[in-house]
A and B are shown apart, each in its own frame.
Chain A
Amino acid sequence: MTWMGCGVTTSFDLRLARGTILYGKWHGGRYEVQRLLGEGANGKVFLVSHRGRSYALKVGADAADLQSEINVLRAITDTKSRSGEPFLVHVDDFTHYPGRDYCFYVMQYIQGSSMTEYLQREGSEWYSLLGVHLLRQLAELHQEGWVFGDLKLDNVLVSQYGRAHLIDYGGVTAIGKSVRQFTELYDRGYWSAGSRRADPAYDLFSLAVLLIQVMEDRRLAQLLKSRDRSVNALLALVKESVTLAPFGEWFGKALSGGFNSAREASAAWQSRYRTRSSARQRKKSGSRWLFRAFAVSVLMLAATAIWYLNV
C-alpha cells in the first residue's frame, strides 16, 4: 500500500539490521536490535535487548500517530500494571544515520503464536479459554473508558497455557468517539450491523467475527465471496459449525449488540463452556450411577437366591 500524497509520510521503509544500536535521544537508553517482529498500519516492531532483557520496540512512521498511541498506552498502563503487566516501558526518539529522527516506544515482549497456530498445535479444546482471556482484557479496557477498536487475528498473541494477549493498541479509542482504526472483516459497519462509534459492543462484534474465523476460516471466506454481508449470514454459519453451534446464543447476542458489557459477555461465554464440560461430567457420573444400580441389583439377586435356597 503506497500513498502518493505530498507531505504525509506513509511509505515507511526503515530497515534496521541485527546488531544495530539505537540510543535514546532524550533519556539515553541503549537498545540492540535483534530482529523485526512485525509491521503494523503505522510502524514497525523490533525485538531489542536492553540491559540484558528482551523488549519489543515500536518505531512510528508518523510522529503524531505514534504519539497518540503512546497517549492511550500511558492512560491504560496504570490499570495494566495493577494486574501485574507493566506494558509501556520507555518512550524516546533515536536519530538514524541519514539524520532523521524516529519516535519509538518500548513495551513488554510477549512470546507467542497466533490464535490459529495455537489451536492447530494444541487442539481446539483450548478454544473457549482463548475467548475467556480476550473477554477479560476487553472488560478491563472498557471499564477504563476505552474500546480496543482494531481487534483482529494479527493483533492477538497466544502465549503458554492459552493466555491470549491483545498486542497492538493503535486502534484504541475513547468510548463515544469514532473508532480510530479498524479492519473491514471485523468492522461492525462493514457487516451493516451498526455504527463505527466506539462502544463496548463494537469490540464484542469484532471478537465474535474473530472467534468465528479461528474455527471456520474457510466457511467465512466463502461467505465473503458470496457478498452476503449480514449478521444473519454469520449466524447461519455458526449454526452449521459443530464447534461453534453450542455458542450459538452467545454469538447471536455479540453480533447484534445484545450484551451491555464485556463483563456480561464474559459471564455468558463462561457459563456456556461450563455447561458443556459439566454435561460431559454428568454423562460420566451417570454411567457410574448405572453401574452402582447394576451392582445393587446383582447383590439383591444373590440375596434373593440365597434366601430362596435357604427356604
Chain B
Amino acid sequence: MKQILLITDGCSNVGMNPVTAAAHAYAEGITVNVVGVLDQGDLGEAGATEINEISKAGGGLSRLVHTKELARTVQMMTRKTVMHTIQNAVHKELKQVLGDSSLESLPPEKRGEVVRVMDELGETAKLRVALLIDASASMKPKLQAVEEAIKDLMLSLQSRQGESELSVFHFPGGKHGEGAALDMGWTRSMKDIPALFSRLQMQGTTPTGPAIMEVIDFYRKDDYGRGHRDDMDGLRSDYVV
C-alpha cells in the first residue's frame, strides 16, 4: 500500500495543477491524503476547495486542522486510508461474487469472517507513506508541530505488525523553486527523524503539483529498484475467498 500525505497551508501557485497530479498518483496505486494546517484561518476558501479536490482526485481524505491537532489527524488519516484501501479491494471481490459490493448485503454471521480478514490485512499489509511538507514562508511557525506529527506517525507505524516505511519530502525543493526535495528516504526507525527541518530554507512559492509528481517518480524508481510490486492484488487473492 502506498500513500502520499500532503501537509500544506495554502493554495498552489506554480506549475502543474495539483489535482491533476493527485489523479496521476491514484492511477499508479498511490492514495493522496491532504491536511490543511491553519492557525489563524489563513487558508481561504480557494485553499480549502483545492485541498478537498486534491484528496478526491487522489482517492484519499482531507481535513483542515489546527497545529495542535496535527499529530492525531495524520495518524488517524493514515490508518483510515489503510482500512479504506482494503475495503475497496474487498468490495470489488464481493461484487464479483455476489453482484452487490456492500458488506451489508452479507448476513451478519458471514460478515464477521470477511471483516476479520480485513482487519488482519490492515495490520499486516506492507505500507509506505511519503510525507510531502509545504515549506513556504507561512509554514515556518508550524514546522515544529509537523516534526512532532512525523515522529508520532513513525511511532504508530512501528507498532504495526506489517512492514511500514516512511519518507519525507519538502517543497519547493530544487534550485529553481520547482518540485520537491527529499529530506529522508524510506526508513523504519525513529533515529533518522530528529531535527529534520533545522537546515531548511523557507521559500515563497508553493509548487504543489510538481512536488506531487516528483514523489510519484520517487515511488516509481523505488519499485523498479526493488523489482517487485506490492499492491493489494497479491494479498487479495491469498486471503479473500
Contacts and interface: CB of A to CB of B under 8 A. Distances in A.
B201 interface: no
Interface string A179-217: 100001000011000011100000000000000000000
Nearest to B155: A189
Contacts of A6: 55-56, 59
Interface in A35-82: 63-64, 67-68, 70-71, 74
A140 interface: no
A7 B103 CA distance: 14
Nearest to A3: B61
Interface residues of A, number: 29
A20 interface: no
Contact of A103 (B104, B119, B123): B104
B89 to A, nearest CB: 12
B121 to A, nearest CB: 12
Contacts of A176: 161
Contact of A64 (B55, B103, B156): B103
B108 A91 contact: yes
B12 interface: no
B156 A8 contact: no
Contacts of A63: 102-104, 111
A67 B123 contact: no
A196 B61 contact: no
A177 B123 contact: yes
A5 B61 contact: yes
Interface string B98-136: 000011100110011011101100010000000000000
Interface in B168-211: none
A26 interface: yes
A50 B158 CA distance: 45
Contact of A8 (B80, B108, B152, B158): B80
Contacts of B118: 64, 68
A4 B63 contact: yes
Contact of B159 (A71, A91, A197): A197
B95 interface: no
Contacts of A189: 152, 155-156, 159
B56 A178 contact: no
Contacts of B62: 4-5
Interface string A1-23: 00111111000000000000000
Contacts of A74: 112
B159 A195 contact: yes
Contacts of A64: 83, 87, 103, 115, 118
A4 B55 contact: yes
Given A6-B59, A178-B123, A196 B156 contact: yes
Contact of B108 (A7, A26, A178, A195): A26
A101 B102 CA distance: 10
A246 B107 CA distance: 53
A189 B116 CA distance: 26
A196 B155 CA distance: 7
Nearest to A173: B123
Contacts of A91: 108
A168 interface: no
Nearest to A91: B108
Contacts of A92: 108
17 contacts: A3-B63, A4-B63, A5-B61, A5-B62, A5-B84, A7-B88, A8-B84, A26-B107, A26-B108, A63-B103, A63-B111, A64-B115, A67-B103, A71-B115, A178-B123, A189-B152, A196-B155
Given A63-B103, A64-B103, 14 more contacts: A3-B63, A4-B52, A4-B55, A4-B63, A5-B62, A26-B107, A63-B102, A63-B111, A64-B115, A68-B115, A70-B108, A92-B108, A189-B159, A196-B156
